[in-house]
Amino acid sequence: MFLADTSAEFHDFFERHYAELARFANLLTGEPDAADDLAADAMIALWQRWDRLRKADHPLAYARGVVANMARERIRAAMRERRRVSLFWFRGPGSVEGPDTAAVLDVRTALARLPFRKRACVVLRHAFDLSEKETAAALGISVGTVKSQTSRGMAELQGILGARAVGDLVTGRRKQ
């Protein structure tokens, strides 16, 4: 009976939060396919600890933290791989490309340019409408760090996208 109840609770948690966690992973990594994998891997990790996690005050905050950590590791691994490939294929100064001169940058491209912690704070605060306290819990950082990283991240986005575009992002965000 206990196993059936536990399984049903986890199934309910999965149904309610999987899509949100996948969307969060997508905004952090910019890779839709990887986002589904990260959300699934996070759910596996949560299931393995569900007996303890189900009694926690905020299991969703813990789940967001798991996704954030997995996304961070994926990004770091990709950066290490790119460095290895570039060192292998580097042919000298003639192979250096010029700067990106695209006139319009979409939000995902702009988010991808932010350092991970700023990106995570901006995404959780503005795309998911979490409070500063909820964001801090999800990322395992202080509320003050959330405030400063969100402010700096939004300032960087403003520099990339322009003040009007960032204002539209904040005022047009989804209300829950």
Instruction: Give the separation between CA 9 and CA 19, rounded to whole angstroms.
Output: 17
pLDDT at 69: 92
In CATH terms, 1-97 corresponds, of 1.10.1740, 3.30.70, 2.60.40, 1.10.287, to 1.10.1740
pLDDT single digits (tens) 53-69: 888 888 899 999 999 99
Which of 125, 122, 103 is closest to 111 using CA atoms?
Answer: 122
pLDDT single digits (tens) 75-124: 888 887 776 666 555 555 544 454 333 333 457 888 889 999 999 999 89
Domain with CATH 1.10.10.10 in the chain: 99-176
In CATH terms, 99-176 corresponds, of 1.10.287.310, 3.30.70.580, 3.40.50.300, 1.10.10.10, to 1.10.10.10
